[in-house]
A = this chain, B = another copy of it.
Amino acid sequence: MFESAELGHRLSKDEYDSEEPRLREALLNAQYELLKDVRFPVIILVSGLDGSGKGDTINLLNSWMDPRYIQTNALGAPSEDELERPTMYRFWRVLPPRGRIGIFYYGSWYTRPIGERMKGKTGNAELDAKLDEIVRFEQMLTREGALVLKFWFHLSKKAQKARFQALEKDRATRWRVTATDWKHHALHAKFSKVAERVLRHTNSTEAPWTVVEAADDRYRNITVGQAVLDALTRRLQQPAPAPPQTGRAPKRRNDLDVLKNLDLKAGLKKAEYEERLAALQGRLNRLTRRKRFEKLSVVTVFEGMDAAGKGGSIRRVTEALNARQYRVIPIAAPTEEERAQPYLWRFWRHVPGRGRIVLFDRSWYGRVLVERVEGFCSEPDWQRAYGEINDFEEQLARHGAVLVKFWLQISAEEQLRRFKEREVTGFKRHKITDDDWRNRDKWPLYEQAVCDMIDRTSTDIAPWTLIAAEDKRHARIAVLETLCTRIEQAL
């Protein structure tokens, strides 16, 4: 894989001087077009051997283009905040919005998997598993519109040695060669082997690697600049994707589904409700005060037809909690900053730290529910979302989050009754809008979307709990009971 990057590619000063000004102007032009268009973000990864000039090339890219719209991320050791959350959290936080360029330097999503393999903390199988996740992450980014460019700077062992020696000879650059560099140099063969495996596994169609022979500064810089320019230009020339059409998903063949199978009749008398509510709230409260709870985090999702009682159920849960432990995140239309990012970005923002509970009132499932049914995204977009959501939830679960997902189901008749009630009773009037009536007309489409969602995203680590919500009391008790049980299992 690295053979052609050890052939001694060079560029003379004359060649460089004749190419550089043209390249520079073209890059700046392309960048301004990107800014004007604001259609997609550009993510550039620069990885490779020590001493291969990663920093120099990145500095040069920043000086060729307008540095105001480039974000260079060099992430050091993770902070406490980051350690309390899944590994990918820190990368999500700094993804460039549409129109901007984000460069990942050291501390990219490749750094840890490679480092752990080098230290022997992981074997090839574990490395491969991590690389698969990376492939899926990058696939998600590109399908969300990002242009992802990955460069690997290579040096032969001999060339690396020569570079270190040259740097050491000059007083002005001596500081750049450290003891670690020489230690890494001794591991050149091992590192190249691991790197090859990494590149092979993550060389996807959407986000391929460009291996660059890095010994000659001029050759390396022009090669990278030209590659960025080519990719950017090609992408800018592509027409913007057509707006999605209203979702006309294939109808499910049979009449029997998980929703129809749910007994909506279940109910509870007031006295029994009150007694059980108090008992369950006490139980939940005690659970969250346990010493071991400080190690967990809890992510709950409340989805359901309009007026199914999500808000009321959430309130019965929060009443049992200490206000400083939880946060309720109501999901409405995304803000401008959120719209400039992949759709999962706005949820990653709210991933809780240890000992915390987040309650999502609607969630990332909007992608496969309202966005699907209303045609806010294309069919390929919501089809791929199932897998992306499973990946997201797996990362949460692996990091110690308890995931509890509720679907609150009511009948169409009960919804109508509640809508009418809302229209007449005082403070409930804010809760009913024209949208609610419109959504109601699409009831069968929503039901189908719900069934598909449950089939594809009810997993071992993050199962859906279907709640018969025709009777509010029954629903609230069921929610609290499930939540307590799931937390108990995790403790």
Binding site for B on A (CB under 8 A): 25, 28-29, 32, 35-36, 55, 58-59, 62-63, 66-74, 79-81, 103, 105, 175, 289, 311, 314-315, 318-319, 321-324, 327-330, 335-337, 361, 426-427, 430
Asked if A289 contacts B58 (CB within 8 A), the reply is no
Asked if A322 contacts B68 (CB within 8 A), the reply is no
* A83–chain B nearest beta-carbon distance, Å: 10
Instruction: Report the bound CA distance from A237 to B327 in whole Å.
Output: 29
Neighbouring B residues of A311 by C-beta, 8 Å = 66, 68
Instruction: Report the bound CA distance from A29 to B427 in whole Å.
Output: 6
Pick the contact of A59: B32, B103, B323, B329 (CB < 8 A).
B323
Known contacts A336-B336, A337-B336; is-contact A323 B68 (Cβ 8 Å):
no
Instruction: Report the bound CA distance from A426 to B28 in whole Å.
Output: 11
Asked if A426 contacts B335 (CB within 8 A), the reply is no
Pick the contact of A72: B59, B66, B323, B335 (CB < 8 A).
B323
Asked if B330 contacts A71 (CB within 8 A), the reply is no
Neighbouring B residues of A58 by C-beta, 8 Å = 323-324
Which residue from chain B places its CB closest to the CB of A103 in the assembled complex? B323
Asked if A328 contacts B68 (CB within 8 A), the reply is yes
Known contacts A318-B62, A328-B68; is-contact A55 B323 (Cβ 8 Å):
yes
| Number of copies of this chain that the complex holds | 2
Neighbouring B residues of A29 by C-beta, 8 Å = 426-427
Neighbouring B residues of A329 by C-beta, 8 Å = 68
Asked if B324 contacts A105 (CB within 8 A), the reply is yes
Asked if A323 contacts B105 (CB within 8 A), the reply is yes
Neighbouring B residues of A67 by C-beta, 8 Å = 314-315, 318, 328
Instruction: Report the bound CA distance from A342 to B154 in whole Å.
Output: 49
Neighbouring B residues of A70 by C-beta, 8 Å = 328
User: Which 7 pairs across A and B sit closest by C-beta, in order of nearness?
Assistant: A74-B324, A72-B323, A68-B330, A336-B336, A68-B328, A32-B430, A29-B427
Neighbouring B residues of A81 by C-beta, 8 Å = 79, 81
Neighbouring B residues of A28 by C-beta, 8 Å = 427
Instruction: Report the bound CA distance from A463 to B311 in whole Å.
Output: 53
Can you show 14 pairs from A to B with CB atoms below 8 A apart? Answer: A25-B427, A28-B427, A29-B426, A36-B430, A55-B322, A55-B323, A59-B323, A67-B318, A69-B330, A74-B324, A79-B80, A105-B323, A335-B335, A337-B337
Which residue from chain B places its CB closest to the CB of A75 in the assembled complex? B324
Asked if B322 contacts A32 (CB within 8 A), the reply is no
Neighbouring B residues of A318 by C-beta, 8 Å = 62-63, 67
Instruction: Report the bound CA distance from A69 to B361 in whole Å.
Output: 11
Most buried by B among A323, A324, A327: A323
Neighbouring B residues of A79 by C-beta, 8 Å = 79-81
* A346–chain B nearest beta-carbon distance, Å: 11
Which residue from chain B places its CB closest to the CB of A33 in the assembled complex? B430
Instruction: Report the bound CA distance from A311 to B79 in whole Å.
Output: 33
* A291–chain B nearest beta-carbon distance, Å: 11
Neighbouring B residues of A337 by C-beta, 8 Å = 335-337
Which residue from chain B places its CB closest to the CB of A318 in the assembled complex? B67
Instruction: Report the bound CA distance from A36 to B433 in whole Å.
Output: 12
Known contacts A59-B323, A324-B74; is-contact A361 B68 (Cβ 8 Å):
yes
Neighbouring B residues of A68 by C-beta, 8 Å = 311, 314, 328-330, 361
Which residue from chain B places its CB closest to the CB of A26 in the assembled complex? B427
A29-B426, A32-B430, A59-B321 given; 9 more Cβ-contact pairs under 8 Å: A59-B322, A62-B319, A68-B311, A69-B330, A72-B327, A103-B323, A175-B289, A336-B337, A337-B337
